Each structure stands twice: as structure tokens, then as C-alpha cells.
């Protein structure tokens, strides 16, 4: 099942304690697609400037990403430069230049309009609305957002939520959106406004899925070397949505597995700069990592008579 993915297609310059990468592939749509194509074909919609090395996206095309929705416009591509600190949990943005992304007006190619799975990357909620307006009859809409829109375009974001099945945000965003520090209550507040599922991403601490009457927790995969955290959240979303679209299901068992695939894909994102790790990823790697996730959380509960 093809996933329509709308988001940023960017160039990133990243410094970490381990090295530097200059003007490498980045952006939510790129990280999402690199992870999601492990499971499902993806139809990508975005915009780049005339400086973008589109041929570097060929590896996505070879894996089933349809890049026909990436519009090339005169001007500069979205550019982000950042530096991660010693512990890799915090970063400074050194530069952001929106370039042609500033006037991004998503146009969904006719051939993409029958998409049943839609991933709305983190863009203005007004544009996310317009994407949905152009899709015939989506079965499942998954949406990301950020503090900038929660503050700056809250009204549109709240009306968008009514059209969303799964909201994926980080813990600070969930708390800010609901104005509620308790995650369980924040997620309920959000679910009362549209999405039946809220996935809260917590970086190295893993991710939690909140549904009606149940909760699922996927740990972060403990890595020896966290090389570059950029894109981990979008790769998580790619693994999660990619797996669900592949199974064509929102059943609880699939949502649980999807969380684990998401967490696995997030871990690959941080093992190298940009989307480099995905280029060499094979099925056995993924299967092995999922087995490790299982080993990390499995226990036999035999609750015998306790002392009290």
C-alpha cells in the first residue's frame, strides 16, 4: 500500500563530536521515505531549489519511492545547519534558510490522489489541510507537527486534528498542545479532538503509543555510538507508518509491531550522517534488531503469592 508523504526535502550541515557533514540529504520527507520504503512504496511530495542534488535521491527511487511529486523551483533549497553537543541530547541551530520552502504550496499529482495512507510531515497546518483536500479518500492520516505551529497556528492545527487518525509528536509538543504536563492526560486531551492514536516520541527514551484503553511502550535502542541524531523522529514515523501501510491494518497487534519497527528505524537514522545507514540496510539487519527489541523487554510474569 503506497503512502503519500508530504514534507521537507532539505540539505543539512551537521556537526557532531564525531565529525562534520556538509549539505547532505535531510528533511522530514527524506528521512521518512528512507525508513518507510523498507516496508512500503512511498509517494513523495515536496519542493527543492535548483541547487538540490536530486540524483542523490535515486536510492529512494530504486526502493519504491515515487519522486514525481518533488517540485523543482528557482532558488535555494531548504537549508539547516546545526551542531550537537557532547552528550548529543541537545543541539544548537547555527543557520536556517527556508529558501523555496518558504512558499511551499503542496500540489498532489493526479496519480497520487488515490493514496489511502497519508503522512503529513511537519509543515504549516494550513498546508496540511490543503494536502488532505487534494486526496480522494484516505483511510489513515498520520500527522506530525511542532511547537512553532502549536503556538503560531493553533486554530488551524486543532481543526486539522479532526481529520487525523494518528498524531505523532514529541513529549514536549504533546504537553504544549494539551497544556497539560501529564502525558497520559495530554494524550487523552488530544485523542478527544480527533486522532484515535497518539504516538509520543521521546528520543533516546523511546516512544509511547496511547490508544483507547491501552498503551504500548517501545524503548530506544541502546547504541554504542549515537553518531547523528538528526532525522530520528522522522525515521521512526517512516518505520511505524511503513509497517502499518504494508500490513494494511490498524489492528492493535500491528500497531504494537509498528512501534518496534519505528524504534528500529529511528536507531538506524542515528548510526550515520544523513540517511546513509538506510542505503546499506538489509532485511536481516532489521529482523535481528527487532529480535533484540524483543529480548530487551520480554519477561515471564509469574505473580506468585507475595509477602504482603
Using CB under 8 A, list all residues that contact its own copies.
Answer: 37-41, 63-64, 86-89, 175, 181-185, 202, 204-206, 208, 214-217, 219, 222-226, 242, 246, 253, 256-257, 259-260, 281-283, 286-287, 290-291, 293-303, 305-308
In the complex, the smallest distance separating the C-beta of residue 219 from its own copies, rounded to whole angstroms, is 4
**24, 274 in Cβ contact below 8 A?**
yes
Q: Which residue has the cell 527511487?
A: 61
Q: Locate cell 545507514: which residue?
A: 277
Minimum distance of its own copies from residue 256's CB (angstroms):
4
* Residues contacting residue 151 through CB under 8 Å, at least 6 positions apart: 176
* Cβ proximity of 48 and 73 under 8 Å: yes
Nearer to its own copies, 41 or 61 (CB): 41
Shortest Å, Cβ 172 to its own copies: 10
Residue 14 or 183 having the CB closest to its own copies = 183
Nearest CB to its own copies, comparing residues 137 and 295:
295
Least spacing, CB of residue 275 vs its own copies, in Å: 13
Residue (95 or 299) nearer to its own copies, CB: 299
* All residues at 6 or more sequence positions from 6 whose CB lies less than 8 Å from its CB, including other chains: 29, 45, 46, 69, 106, 108, 118, 119, 120, 121, 123, 127, 128, 131
CB of 48 or CB of 199, closer to its own copies: 199
Which of these, 26, 112, 107, lies nearest to 65 by C-alpha position?
112
Instruction: Tell the smallest beta-carbon distance from residue 107 to its own copies (Å).
Output: 27
Q: Are strands 78-84 and 91-97 parallel, antiparallel or unpaired?
A: antiparallel
C-alpha cell at 118: 497519508
Nearer to its own copies, 98 or 250 (CB): 250
Q: Minimum distance between the CB of residue 215 and its own copies, rounded to whole angstroms?
A: 6
Q: How far is the CB of 235 from its own copies (least distance, A)?
A: 14
How far is 5 from 247, CA to CA, in rounded Å?
17
Gap between the Cα atoms of 138 and 71, Å rounded: 23
Nearest one of 17, 167, 11 to 90, comparing CA atoms: 17
CB-based burial, 243-252: b 16+ in 10 Å, e otherwise: bbbbbebbee
Least distance from C-beta 87 to its own copies, angstroms? 4
3-class secondary structure per residue, 6-47:
ECCCEEEEEEECCEEEEEEEECHHHHHHHHHCCCCCEEEEEE
Amino acid at each position: 500500500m503506497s503512502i503519500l508523504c508530504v514534507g521537507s526535502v532539505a540539505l543539512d550541515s551537521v556537526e557532531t563530536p564525531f565529525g562534520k557533514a556538509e549539505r547532505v540529504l535531510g528533511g522530514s520527507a527524506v528521512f521518512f521515505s528512507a525508513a518507510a520504503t523498507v516496508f512500503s512504496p512511498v509517494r513523495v511530495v515536496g519542493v527543492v531549489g535548483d541547487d538540490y542534488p536530486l540524483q542523490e535521491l535515486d536510492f529512494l527511487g530504486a526502493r519504491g519511492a515515487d519522486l514525481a511529486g518533488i517540485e523543482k523551483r528557482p532558488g535555494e533549497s531548504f537549508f539547516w545547519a546545526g551542531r550537537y553537543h557532547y552528550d548529543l541530547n541537545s543541539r544548537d541551530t547555527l543557520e536556517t534558510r527556508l529558501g523555496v520552502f518558504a512558499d511551499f504550496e503542496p500540489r498532489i499529482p493526479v496519480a497520487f490522489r488515490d493514496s489511502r495512507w497519508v503522512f503529513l510531515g511537519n509543515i504549516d497546518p494550513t498546508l496540511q489541510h490543503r494536502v488532505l483536500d487534494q486526496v480522494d479518500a484516505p483511510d489513515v492520516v498520520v500527522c506530525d507537527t511542532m511547537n512553532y505551529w502549536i503556538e503560531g497556528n493553533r486554530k488551524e492545527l486543532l481543526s486539522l486534528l479532526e481529520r487525523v487518525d494518528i498524531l505523532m509528536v514529541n513529549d514536549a509538543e504533546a504537553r504544549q498542545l494539551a497544556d497539560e504536563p501529564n502525558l497520559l492526560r495530554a494524550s487523552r486531551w488530544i485523542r478527544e479532538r480527533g486522532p484515535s492514536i497518539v504516538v509520543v516520541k521521546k528520543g533516546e527514551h523511546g516512544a509511547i503509543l496511547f490508544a483507547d484503553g491501552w498503551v504500548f511502550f517501545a524503548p530506544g535502542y541502546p547504541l554504542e555510538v549515537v553518531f547523528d541524531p538528526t532525522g530520528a523522529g522522522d525515521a521512526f514515523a517512516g518505520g511505524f507508518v511503513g509497517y502499518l501501510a504494508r500490513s494494511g491494518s490498524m489492528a492493535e497487534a500491528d500497531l504494537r509491531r509498528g512501534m518496534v519497527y519505528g524504534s528500529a528505524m529511528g536507531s538506524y537514522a542515528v548510526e550515520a550522517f544523513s540517511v546513509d545507514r538506510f542505503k546499506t540496510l538489509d532485511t536481516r539487519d532489521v529482523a535481528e534488531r527487532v529480535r533484540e527489541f524483543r529480548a530487551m523487554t520480554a519477561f515471564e510474569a509469574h505473580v506468585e503469592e507475595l509477602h504482603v
